[in-house]
Amino acid sequence: MKILIAVTGASALEVAEKLVNELKARKNQVYLIVTDGARKLAKEEGFDLSVVERLADKIYDNSDLGASLSSSSNPPDATVVVPASLKTIGKIANGIQDELVIRVANNTLRLGRKLVVCPRETPVSAIDLENMARIARAGGIILPLNIAFYFKPKGIEDLINFIVGKIMDVLEIENNIYAKWKQNDNNRN
């Protein structure tokens, strides 16, 4: 599977790193776009983006609207925007295709392929929610970087694995990196 990972300027870059690791471990082809906002944030948070970049099969410059990925004749099989800044979400929702990330996201929607958008921001305004709803109505999947506790996480790595596992579930990629929900019907009213 050829998957584009778009890393934008929202906190949670560790999720993108883990996702790229897991996708590569399963022999997927991973393309990467890192926005200027993500680079700035990585520097502020002390996150080493070179680790993620070394794993990618190909890295695209977000300003390169002439890149092969910008054409609907050469799209990835799926696109994941993780973490997704509200700026990027707003541009995708409104079709403002002035960056490669936005152009590829819109091509992904046009072709009916999987677009997974992972917002990290909280709280969100009605405008943010409407932008997410517009993406969902267009066929995108909104997968907020929300944590869960039902599986009794032992630390941050378990919480990151939970999110990455959920993204992989949406992409229909087998994984067992998090504990899936198991309901005990005998104990429920």
Lowest model confidence (mean pLDDT) among 13-17, 145-149, 155-159: 145-149
pLDDT for residue 182 is more than 80: no
Q: What span, in angstroms and rounded, lies between the C-alpha atoms of 73 and 90? A: 25
Per-residue model confidence (pLDDT) at position 105? 98
Sequence letter at residue 109: L
Q: What is the mean pLDDT of residues 35-61?
A: 96
Q: What is the mean pLDDT of residues 107-131?
A: 97
Per-residue model confidence (pLDDT) at position 12? 94
pLDDT for residue 146 is more than 90: yes
Domains located in the chain, CATH noted? 2-187 (3.40.50.1950)
Residue 59: Cβ within 10 Å count: 13
Per-residue model confidence (pLDDT) at position 179? 83
pLDDT for residue 187 is more than 80: no
Average model confidence (pLDDT) across the chain: 95
Sequence letter at residue 55: L
Q: Is beta strand 29-34 parallel, antiparallel or unpaired with respect to 114-119?
A: unpaired
pLDDT in tens, 98-112: 999 999 999 999 999
DSSP 102-121: HHHHHHHHHTT-EEEEEE--
Q: What span, in angstroms and rounded, lies between the C-alpha atoms of 119 and 84? A: 5
